[in-house]
Amino acid sequence: MINLFISAIVFGTVILYGAMGEILTEKSGNLNLGVPGIMYLGGIAGLAVAFGYEMSTANPIPIVALILSFIAAFLAAALGGALYSFLTITLRANQNVTGLTLTIFGSGLANFFGGALNNMAGGVGQISVAVTSGAYRASIPGAANLGWFGQIFLNHGFMVYLAIVLAVLMHLFFKRSRMGLNLRAVGENPATADAAGINVTRYKYLATCVGAGISGLGGLYYTMDYIKGTWASEGTIEALGWLAVALVIFAVWRSLNAIWGSYLFGFLTWLYFYVPQVRSLLISAFNLPEDALQFMVLTRSTQELFKMLPYLVTILVLILVSLRKKRENQPPASLGLAYFREER
């Protein structure tokens, strides 16, 4: 069961990065449904730069490889955010269509270059960036020997803890800083913010590009930590990207809520895999017949039902938020709407 909680934290961290980036973006009034594609861009950019560095250097330095791949992932994802911003802010294209197109574009581009890297490395699964991956996966020395607490909470790479720190800083940014308050004003009523002297276009561009960069770190973490520095095109990044979008709603656009919400989503995502083990433990503990608890025997179809749990929980939260009608739990008033300055 310890592995269930470890897996929940790993997948939860990927989701948390994606959700934090989207929270920042949506606070400006932009609804970017291209999060999965942006996470793909971050993952492949970090992997490509790490691969190039390790292949071209006789003795690659772990910290250099980490910094180069980290910057590359952030910039590539931010570039995807810049493309989205240009289309939706400058050209005022439909935000929903643009975001969905970015998801398709990002996943296709990433898998194209991922295939190219596989070919260069000698075949599928042959990419090796062991030095870079090792730097990302390095945990606190001795953490694994501290029992269940150390294994679950301390035996992770730095990006797990960086995600939590970023979420706390984002909360303080929105609550305590002038720039954060200005950004919230832009998301709520851009015309009023514009009249108050706030540069609406600049804030929207910055929030969307930086938000995309943060989301891209989720793809980087998945690539470097979970699959240990190789490339897989099975669609897991895309699935986690959509969970990140759902988490934004579940967390009611609050980064602190996204911390525990992301781990809950990670737990629910992996729950189906451990249900048979829980059944075996219950049968053994209570001396039950071998054919007991048949409802916990999962078929292919019931596994898919378990995978739906994060989305079902999000729908439930949406219903509860709508019924309570508290303004602080609602999305930014101008979310998804293009701003036409001449209509002030």
Neighbours of 216 (CB within 10 A): 35
Which pair of structure tokens corresponds to residue 231? 């490339």
Instruction: Choose among 338, 149, 174, 176: nearest CA to 251.
Output: 174
* 254-302 confidence digits (pLDDT tens): 999 999 999 999 998 888 888 877 778 777 887 778 777 766 777 777 7
Give the CA distances from residue 43 to residues 8, 211, 214, in Å, rounded to whole numbers and listed in that order: 20, 15, 12
CB of 245 closer than 8 Å to CB of 31:
no
What is the end-to-end Cα distance of the chain in Å, rounded?
Answer: 57
Instruction: Choose among 248, 178, 244: nearest CA to 217.
Output: 244
**Tell me, what's the pLDDT at 99?**
96
What's the mean pLDDT in 156-164?
Answer: 96
In the predicted model, is pLDDT for residue 181 greater than 80? yes
* 71-111 confidence digits (pLDDT tens): 999 999 999 999 999 999 999 999 999 999 999 999 999 99
In the predicted model, is pLDDT for residue 344 greater than 60? no
DSSP for 310-323, please give it.
HHHHHHHHHHHHHH
The answer to whether the predicted template modeling score (pTM) of the entire model surpasses 0.95 is: no
Q: How many residues does the chain have?
A: 344
Domains of the chain in start order, with CATH, are 2-343 (1.10.3470)
Indicate the pLDDT class of residue 343, thresholds 50, 70 and 90: low
**Tell me, what's the pLDDT at 342?**
66
* 311-338 confidence digits (pLDDT tens): 888 888 878 877 777 777 788 999 999 8
Which pair of structure tokens corresponds to residue 306? 């378990």
**DSSP secondary structure letter of residue 102:** H
Per the listing, tokens 């294209």 go with 93
In the predicted model, is pLDDT for residue 126 greater than 80? no
Mean pLDDT of the chain: 90
Indicate the pLDDT class of residue 121, thresholds 50, 70 and 90: confident
CB of 185 closer than 8 Å to CB of 192:
yes
Q: Which residues contact 26 (CB under 8 A, 6 or more apart)?
A: 32, 187, 248, 253, 331, 332, 335
* 129-153 confidence digits (pLDDT tens): 999 999 999 998 888 788 888 889 9
Per the listing, tokens 């989503």 go with 265
Q: Which residues contact 137 (CB under 8 A, 6 or more apart)?
A: 157, 224, 225, 228
In the predicted model, is pLDDT for residue 170 greater than 60? yes
Spatial distance between the Cα atoms of 72 and 114, rounded to a whole number of angstroms: 15
